Amino acid sequence: MQYSQALLDDIRAAVDIVDLVGRFVNLRKAGSHWKGLCPFHAEKTPSFTVNPQKNIFHCFGCGVGGDAFGFVMRQDRLSFPEAVRALAKSAGIALPEERGSGAGNSGREELIRVMELAGRFYADTLWKPAGERARAYLEQRGIDIGIARSFGLGYAPEGWETLLTFMRAEKVAEEALIAAGLAVARENRAGAYDRFRGRLLFPIRDLQSRVVAFGGRGFGDEQPKYLNSPETPLYTKGNLLYAADLARTTIQSENRALLVEGYVDCIMAHQHGFTGTVAALGTAFTPAQLALLRRYCDEVVTFFDADAAGQKAAARAEELLEPTGRGMAWAVNRSGAFEGAGTLRVKVALLPAGHDPDTFLRSAGRAGFMERIAAARSILSYALDRALADPDGATGPRARTTAFARVALLLAKVADGDEAAALSREAATKLGVDPTQLWIEAQRLQSSLRTPPAQSQPAAPVSTPPVERDLVALLLHSSEARAALLGPLGETDEVGHASLRAIVEALRRRPDAPAESLMTDLPTDEARSVLSSLLVEDRESVDARVSIGQFQRRLERSQRLRRARELSQAIAETQAKTGVAAPMDAELRTLHKESAVVYEITGGVAQSLEHGTPTSSRSSDE
Ligand SMILES: [Zn+2]
């Protein structure tokens, strides 16, 4: 089965490589990337890195590297198609063979088009006379027009076939509307009807801002109050966060996400300037959602009403700290994956009883909300309170001993060292013990919780010629360099190393592709490892323009040398044919003239060519 590049890119974008690798390797954040002990060779200091921006991993110790597919192939010893299937499944992306016959990838692309059309249709309707009721509702909830537009809010008009009629004109088949979850097939007769009728619609968009689902709110007594899109090939519940596409930049720059529950909570937070806010789109936060946030920040603040906070926070902390069922194929087991959440710190901001972010923002405003965020407390300290309290209400030395054990176990599961240290101090004071004691016990438990990673013999990292390596790195990092150098490169043998040449060939075939997506174009493990090593190198400081110029001159020179070699060869052959003494014929004269020009440009090299030995210039080609 040959998978299309678009599909592989989709899967790669949907998989969080930190989360994936984090299931097997204890990763710690180090600047913009993550580090841990290599699962593929034995080592004591971490040289295994994961770069979430480029979606790749690379080990500086053994040189192994690649993308998510490569990691699963190595870790679970899968073939490439098996790795694609495993990752697609966990990312909730349907593969062509699962989409029925002959559909190819067009099924998914058609659904994306249908959702986009629907999003536009509903949004347009909101601002037309038909949308009056929905606009009145927005006004009553205090949602500004500008915010409503940037969230793409829409209105699904009353009537059973409004969207169907619109889509018919757009030549969209009924089956596509049903597959997209926008229409429902009639039970007793042929045909379908609109799923959303008379509702305010909140489009749910993926990170690329493509509409993949809708949440629809009724205005009156309609049941249910919220009606959501069903799962489709584009939308898997629990994999997305509402407004993640809008909030991502702020989350990254503030290194913090605000997590709320409802659509309106989220919209109101944005309206009050809290643009790093996302909503969970469901009652519970899923591992996939937390993993998504962890790609962009180190801290998440969530909001609980004071009444429910203790209970909710404790439950969530339990989820967060649940160890994973290691050894099972991760693609199958996505539950309890919070451990991979690593150092993502989750804090709880308390709101007054009976309030949610929406109502609180409207009563206390931006300043009040900021105060609550500033006072947010680690979710772990809620868990700590719970670990300290005996569930049966017992007191005395025995209860204290079991509390000590529970706290030590809790600390053992906390991935972040600073946070664990702060918690152990807090717990030690409350328990009346020495923090070091707790700390030692926690560390002992931690090492017994950790499963030793599968190890094999380290391979030596592939060594590549430095100049060729620099050239390929430049091509990978700069589209300008690709435009300027890929053409001339084809006419030289400048890149001799097989893996580097494979990367150049892949670039020539898809010069517009993001560097990391070339991973699947490469024929060998070695080439993939070389690519990952080039991608993890920090070459930002290199001035691309200067390097391009240098390589351009280098390539021109080697092109000319090649031409000069060809010319002197041709001269030698012609002379051999006609005899040196014979008068120059036209062909020979042209060759001489051309080679003179080449000599002049090439400078010193002309010397060696004057002797007419076609091979003598080869050694000066450095
Ligand atoms: Zn390694």
**Of 57-66, 351-360, 611-620, which gets the smallest average pLDDT?**
611-620
d(CA 180, ligand 1 centre) in Å: 43
CB–CB of 430/388 below 8 Å?
Answer: yes
41 Cα to the center of ligand 1, angstroms: 5
| Distance (Å) from CA 57 to ligand 1 centroid | 10
Ligand 1 centroid to residue 122 C-alpha, Å: 52
- In angstroms, what is the span from residue 39 Cα to ligand 1's centroid? 7
Whole-number Å distance between alpha carbons of 387 and 381: 9
Q: Measured in angstroms, how far is the CA atom of residue 46 from the centroid of ligand 1? A: 9
Distance, CA 528 to ligand 1 centroid (Å)? 14
State in Å: Cα 50 to ligand 1 middle: 12
Quote the ligand 1 centre to 327 CA distance (angstroms): 20
Distance from residue 44's CA to the centre of ligand 1 (Å)? 11
Q: pLDDT at position 419, please?
A: 74
Predicted pLDDT at 304 = 84
pTM of the prediction? 0.58
For residue 8, how far is its CA from the centre of ligand 1 (angstroms)? 25
Question: E-strand spans in 189-267?
Answer: 192-194, 199-205, 211-217, 226-228, 256-260
- Could you tell me the end-to-end alpha-carbon distance of the chain, in angstroms, rounded to an integer? 44
For the segment 19-28, the average pLDDT, to the nearest whole number, is 83
In order of their start, the domains of the chain are: 5-91 (3.90.580.10), 107-235 (3.90.980.10), 298-459 (no CATH), 466-539 (no CATH), 547-615 (no CATH)
- Quote the ligand 1 centre to 494 CA distance (angstroms): 30
**Cα(395)–Cα(572) distance, rounded to whole angstroms?**
102
Q: How many CA atoms lie within 13 Å of 44's alpha carbon, on the beta-carbon side?
A: 0
Using alpha carbons, list the distances in angstroms from residue 617 to 495, 507, 563, 565, 570.
Answer: 18, 30, 11, 7, 15
Q: What is the DSSP letter of 70?
A: H
Q: Report the separation in Å between the CA atom of 421 and the middle of ligand 1, taken as the mean of its atom positions.
A: 30
Q: Quote the ligand 1 centre to 584 CA distance (angstroms).
A: 64
Ligand 1 mean position, distance from CA 21 (Å): 13
**CA 38–ligand 1 middle distance (angstroms):** 4
State the pLDDT at residue 416.
66
Q: What is the pLDDT, as a whole number, of residue 589? A: 73
**From ligand 1's centre to the CA of 56, what distance in Å?**
14
Ligand 1 centroid, distance to 461 Cα (angstroms) = 9
Across the range 615-622, mean pLDDT stands at 39
Q: What percent of the chain has pLDDT over 70?
A: 81
Give SS3 for 15: coil
Mean pLDDT confidence for 468-488: 88
Ligand 1: centre distance to CA 447 (Å): 21
64 alpha carbon – ligand 1 mean position (Å): 6
How many angstroms does the Cα of residue 530 sit away from the middle of ligand 1?
A: 13
Residue with the bigger pLDDT between 117 and 342: it is 117
Say which range, 334-343, 393-402, 424-433, 500-509, has the weakest mean pLDDT. 334-343
* pLDDT tens, residue by residue, 203-252: 999 877 889 999 999 987 778 888 999 988 888 888 889 999 999 889 98
Q: How far is the CA of 353 from the centre of ligand 1 (A)?
A: 52
- In 153-267, which ranges are E strands? 154-156, 183-185, 192-194, 199-205, 211-217, 226-228, 256-260
**146 band by pLDDT with thresholds 50, 70 and 90:** very high
Listed residue (566, 580, 542) closest to 617, CA to CA: 566
pLDDT tens per residue across span 442-477: 777 776 665 544 444 455 667 788 888 888 988 988
Whether the per-residue pLDDT at 327 is higher than 70: the answer is: no
90: CA distance to ligand 1 center in Å? Answer: 26
